Structure 1
Amino acid sequence: MPSDEGTIVSFDLLSQIKSILKNNPKGMSVTDISHKLKMNRNSVAKYLDILSISGQVEMRTFGPAKVYFLSQRVPLGAMLNHTSEFILVLDSGLRVIQINDRFLVFLKEDRDYYLGKTLEETVIPIVSEQIIMDKIQETFTKKEVMLEVQYTQEDGDLFFRVKLISTVFDDGTPGVTIILEEITSQKRAEIALKESEQRFREMVEVSPYPISIIDPHGTYLFINSKFTEVFGYTRDEITSGRDWFSAAYPDETYRKQVIHAWITDIEQAGERPISPRLFQVTTRSGEVKEVIFRTVRLSDQNHYITYEDISERRRVEEALAEQKRVDEVVFTSVQRTREIAERSLDLLFGLDPEGKITQVSPSFERITSYSLEEVRGRMISDLIQEAEIPLSNEFFRLMHAGEEIEGIELHLIKKDGSVIPMMINLVPKMSGTTIVGIQGKLLWV
């Protein structure tokens, strides 16, 4: 056996020290062990350092004293084969020292195929990837290295979290333990989540409505481009509910009403859907818009809000309501005029701005023998004597100037060709300075 003072490590002394510590479970100091072995303290300390580095003994400090205990070790082979991870142990020459059963099942090879071979002599799927080979060399200078890798095979990609641990064997030589944890399900879930989030963002970005997502504390997590397009405010300007309320509701009294309504709706809704609300929103340019707020509480308690700008619709609705009111007034007026015309012996008719007949009274049809269908669209000048046509043209010139024609005698030609002397009155219907129609009356002379 080599001298205990020599530079060569004695495995026999290492075994003796472990045996002494095993028989003294309460621990021993360097001095205690040196007395047992009859060796000097420096030599014992050197061997204890070797055993400590290799993980075979533990050192605890009690005041100024250092006490050594035998490590409670689990047999490596048993540990390797009772784990769900793939485990590979390499020595400093990258030679396979251990490989667990689960990894062998995945590789579909026997243990003897790999044991004793270097990574240059045999290709081990996943481990022989260049990115891991580079990290193995790095592990010798670091205690631990971690990374994630993707492994492609025929029936789909697999994902692994790889942990490379610097290892010291019983004889003090270095090595590397590689632990492969399959995280395929987790990674696929992450990928699916990212794809779902991407689809969601694409969906809300192409939405025709402004959209925002707000957390329970009022922080704006997201606004789409339509939000900025409609209201003018950017994500940098609207980061919180305080920012939004101050900008969108500059009038303090109205702002308080909106905030009160918002809080009340959320509190009263509970787990039920939150009712839509109509508020007036002031845009960045100062324009006031009528906006319907539709709020949905998501499973993570964030609020998904859709804003529907109905300003134009309200203007159209108001315009249609006004048009309906005017139509009703006009209809009533026309009805009254028609009733008067039906009772009158005077011949009443309507013309467009060019002088074409648009309507005639029953008395007109009865006296001239023309029905409305026969004269509608014809020029009124077609029904008067040819010599009087220039006079009718002058009538239209005066009416386009806004004047009325009253008490001018003309001769009306009936359907059978006979002529009736009549007195004509013409009144232009104006819209501003534009003539939109003519009301005419023929009176008996």
Structure 2
Amino acid sequence: MYDIFIPDAGADRREEMIGDYEEIATIKDLLRTSPQGLSITDISRQLHLHRTTVAKYLDMLQMKGDVDLRIMGTSKVYHLSNRVPAAVIRGFYTGPFILFTTRITVKEYSPDLADYGIVGDITGKELTDTELAPLYDDSMPELCRRAVLGTPAEIRITTPDKKNQRDLKIRIIPVVFDDGRAGCAFLIEDVTDLTIARREVEICEKELKIVSEDLNEFVFRCTPDGILKRVNHPFCVRMDRKPEELLGFPYEPVISREDLERLTKMKQQITPKNPTQTIAFKAIQ
């Protein structure tokens, strides 16, 4: 009978991976305390790691978008960043997008840009080229330059097509490509329906305000948790307060606990099909 011992190579590899993660986390912690950035030599000296090991970890972090690199003289200086890998946008972002290089030229884009006036192949086009005019705003070049350096931004624009005008919210975010190079991305969200709905609400609010001031009844608008957002003049007279003394405060303290419970249940019954409810309650002076 023989005892045969087969070493578990997988266990060694798992221990090595755990060591990698711990050392990578240590590098990130060190960079977090050094916003000006550190070179490979600095990190190697402070953490007592081999330069080759540090360089390998920094390459991994750069590919993930966790660190950025800038050249200072003959040194490569690394600092923490917060970039989204381009592969994540390609694979998981469901809306239209455009990926730009460091020079703000189009590297990749989604196939659904025709709805917003972008037609044809725009690969290699600059942001200021006429092909991208439907999505262009004068502030974008500077916002893109900042995003390439690591600062995200957000802008709202209206497409110039009068027949099919769209309101868009564009998030401009820092990205890192598969080769480790930096860039930025346009993540485009169509908010046309939301804009129309908000305009209609504003119109209704103005009309309600005009009407409510002529009523003798107390009229006020509040948030779902009972914070006053608008009050009419009769309500202010009844409460013996100025509007600015009432807005931002809850109206519920003037209602008894029993009536407040009934009011809470009643509000839960309001739906688009059943938009109004009526309740009578006593007000506490």
TM-score interval for Structure 1 and Structure 2 normalised by the shorter chain: 0.5 to 0.7
Matched to 1:182, the amino acid is D
Deviation at 1:90, TM superposition (A): 1.0
1:98 to 2:128 alignment: no
Residues of 1 paired with 2:185 and 2:228: CA distance? 47
Evaluate the alpha carbon distance shift between residue 171 and residue 304 of structure 1 in structure 2; reply closer, same or farther with a 3 A threshold.
farther
Unmatched 5+ residue regions in structure 2?
Answer: 1-12, 21-48, 67-84, 267-273
Please point out which of 173, 176, 179 is paired with 1:168. 176
Deviation at 1:92, TM superposition (A): 1.0
Q: Which aligned pairs between 1:204-353 and structure 2 lie closer than 5 A? A: 204-205=212-213, 207-213=214-220, 221-228=229-236, 233-235=241-243, 263=259, 299=275
Residues of 1 paired with 2:275 and 2:235: CA distance? 23
Q: Deviations over 1:7-63 (max 9, x none)?
A: xxxxxxxxxxxxxxxxx7886456xxxxxxxxx941242133123212299xxxxxx
Evaluate the alpha carbon distance shift between residue 240 and residue 95 of structure 1 in structure 2; reply closer, same or farther with a 3 A threshold.
closer
Q: Which aligned pairs between 1:397-412 and structure 2 lie closer than 5 A? A: none
- Native 8 Å contact 1:213 1:304 kept in 2: no
1:203 to 2:199 alignment: no
SS of the residue corresponding to residue 93 of structure 1 reads: coil
- Native 8 Å contact 2:86 2:177 kept in 1: no
Evaluate the alpha carbon distance shift between residue 299 and residue 124 of structure 1 in structure 2; reply closer, same or farther with a 3 A threshold.
same
Deviation at 1:229, TM superposition (A): 6.4
Q: Deviations over 1:90-141 (max 9, x none)?
A: 1111111111111256445232xx2123224444034421122221122123
Q: Deviations over 1:367-390 (max 9, x none)?
A: xxxxxxxxxxxxxxxxxxxxxxxx
Moved more, 135-144 or 90-99: 135-144
Please point out which of 79, 82, 89 is paired with 2:99. 89
Counterpart in the other structure of 1:333:
none
Deviation at 1:199, TM superposition (A): 1.8
- Native 8 Å contact 2:116 2:134 kept in 1: no
- Native 8 Å contact 1:212 1:221 kept in 2: no
- Native 8 Å contact 2:212 2:219 kept in 1: no
- Native 8 Å contact 2:220 2:230 kept in 1: yes
Residues of 1 paired with 2:276 and 2:141: CA distance? 43
Name the Cα RMSD after superposition: 4.6
Q: 1 or 2, which has the higher strand percentage?
A: 1
- Native 8 Å contact 2:226 2:250 kept in 1: yes
Residues of 2 paired with 1:173 and 1:236: CA distance? 53
Counterpart in the other structure of 1:142:
150
Which structure has the greater CA radius of gyration? 1
Residues of 1 paired with 2:279 and 2:207: CA distance? 19
Unmatched 5+ residue regions in structure 1?
Answer: 1-23, 31-39, 58-73, 246-258, 272-297, 306-445
Q: Deviations over 1:260-310 (max 9, x none)?
A: 9x949x959x86xxxxxxxxxxxxxxxxxxxxxxxxxx95989799xxxxx
Q: Normalising to structure 1: TM-score of the pair?
A: 0.38
Residues of 2 paired with 1:44 and 1:115: CA distance? 37
Q: Which aligned pairs between 1:38-117 and structure 2 lie closer than 5 A? A: 41-55=50-64, 76=87, 80=90, 83-104=93-114, 106-107=116-117, 109-111=119-121, 114-117=122-125
Residues of 2 paired with 1:182 and 1:143: CA distance? 23
Deviation at 1:149, TM superposition (A): 2.5
Evaluate the alpha carbon distance shift between residue 226 and residue 304 of structure 1 in structure 2; reply closer, same or farther with a 3 A threshold.
farther
Residues of 1 paired with 2:86 and 2:148: CA distance? 24
Counterpart in the other structure of 2:194:
186
Evaluate the alpha carbon distance shift between residue 75 and residue 84 of structure 1 in structure 2; reply closer, same or farther with a 3 A threshold.
closer
Matched to 1:47, the amino acid is K
Q: Which has the higher contact order (CA 8 A, sep 6+)?
A: 2
